[in-house]
């Protein structure tokens, strides 16, 4: 097969595997979301995605969906096939036993103990391996899990709804700055996170629930409160629910996040207020931002992000991979923090 056509086909089929993987976003914790497709005769013969911890991996799901022998076929997987025994047997063993001719995968396993090992295992059985296909897209899909599995620290997303002049305070009679469409998007974001954290002042003023509503989730994210004083109203909904929020009283924010990582939480959504977000940015703890800009100007003294701030514009926190989306009259800005 000419190399150019082969590359185009590989990209096409890996995108199909990515579409499968996205079905598992928010459902596979503490495992990554992974998709796989089996290709025979130039066509997709079967597809599968990982549905949750302890359940078959994407490769096995695809094999089970196949109605013919996989011998001589190619399997495309968004993440390097596992080569060690965890809750389930190694997928490399299943691939070898199935008789695949070729394996194409996207992202390398970020765990240093496993990274690249599949190439050697599969190659020793005469299976052709192509790695790094659409690697950036495959890695981005599991960027929360990638950081946690490699460092033990959760991936931190700072989210806020704000006015055009950078304030988070709205009129006392209305809790919402953003519109209904933006709020639906926030629920989808919450559904992908391992935990949601707010500051004590947010609990005292807004009395939030921090639950996912209107979106299918395997389980609700853990809820956490970072508070210096620890003086929270006993009637707060976060404290009254069957699963009360985890409280971090007078604990450095970095230590609180590390404790969540130690509990197996791969990602944390910081939803405000300004003091919490300011501390997170001051300490270099934020990996990604998600800001919803409402078409209004409020004035006032409550900034979206407080804290110490930077000394000059040259010291500002830069973003990469920036994306702007219009949600009705709102604008959603997302981007990853550039690490120096």
59 is catalytic: yes
Contact 178, 247 (CB under 8 A): no
Contact 165, 305 (CB under 8 A): no
Residues 6+ apart with CB under 8 A from 313: none
| CA–CA gap between residue 109 and residue 32 (Å, rounded) | 10
Tell me the C-alpha to C-alpha distance, in Å, between residue 170 and each of 120, 167, 184, 274, 314. 58, 8, 19, 14, 31
3-class DSSP state of 77: strand
Contact 158, 290 (CB under 8 A): yes
DSSP 14-62: HHHHHHHHHTTTTTSTTSPP-EEEEEETTEEEEEEE--STTSPPHHHHH
Q: Would the CA dihedral through 247, 249, 252, 258 be positive or negative?
A: negative
Tell me the C-alpha to C-alpha distance, in Å, between residue 203 and each of 32, 171, 231. 32, 17, 10
Contact 99, 72 (CB under 8 A): yes
Across the strands, what pairs with 226?
199, 248
For the chain, the residue count is: 340
β-bridge pairing 288-293 and 330-337: antiparallel
| Active-site pick, 59, 61, 80, 201 | 59
User: Which residues are catalytically annotated?
Assistant: 59
């Amino acid at each position: 097969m000419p190399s150019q056509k082969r590359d185009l086909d590989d990209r096409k089929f890996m995108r199909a595997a990515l579409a499968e993987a996205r079905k598992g976003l928010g459902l596979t914790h503490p495992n990554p979301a992974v998709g796989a497709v089996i290709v025979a005769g130039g066509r997709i013969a079967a597809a599968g995605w990982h549905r949750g911890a302890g359940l078959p991996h994407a490769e096995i799901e695809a094999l089970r969906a196949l109605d013919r022998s996989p011998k001589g076929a190619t399997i495309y997987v968004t993440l390097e096939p596992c080569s060690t025994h965890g809750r389930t047997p190694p997928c490399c063993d299943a691939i070898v036993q199935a008789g695949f001719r070729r394996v194409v995968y996207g992202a390398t396993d970020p765990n240093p103990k496993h990274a690249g090992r599949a190439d050697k295992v599969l190659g020793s059985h005469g299976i052709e391996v192509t790695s790094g296909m659409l690697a950036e897209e495959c890695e981005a899909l599991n960027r929360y899990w990638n950081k946690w599995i490699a460092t033990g620290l959760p991936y931190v997303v700072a989210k806020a709804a704000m006015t055009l002049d950078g304030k988070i305070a709205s009129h006392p009679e209305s809790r919402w700055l953003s519109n209904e469409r933006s709020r639906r998007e926030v629920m989808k974001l919450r559904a992908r996170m391992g935990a949601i954290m707010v500051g004590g002042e947010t609990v005292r003023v807004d009395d939030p629930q921090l639950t996912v509503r209107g979106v299918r989730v395997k389980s609700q994210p853990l809820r956490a409160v970072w508070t210096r004083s620890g003086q929270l109203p006993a009637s707060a909904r976060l404290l009254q629910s069957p699963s009360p929020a985890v409280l971090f009283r007078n604990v450095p924010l970095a230590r609180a996040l590390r404790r969540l990582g130690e509990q197996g939480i791969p990602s944390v959504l910081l939803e405000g207020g300004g003091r919490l977000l300011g501390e997170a940015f001051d300490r270099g703890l934020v990996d990604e931002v998600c800001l919803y800009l409402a078409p209004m100007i409020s004035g006032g003294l409550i900034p979206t992000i407080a804290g110490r701030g930077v000394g000059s514009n040259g010291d500002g926190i830069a973003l990469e991979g920036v994306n702007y989306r219009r949600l009705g009259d709102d604008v959603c800005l997302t981007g990853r923090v550039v690490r120096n």
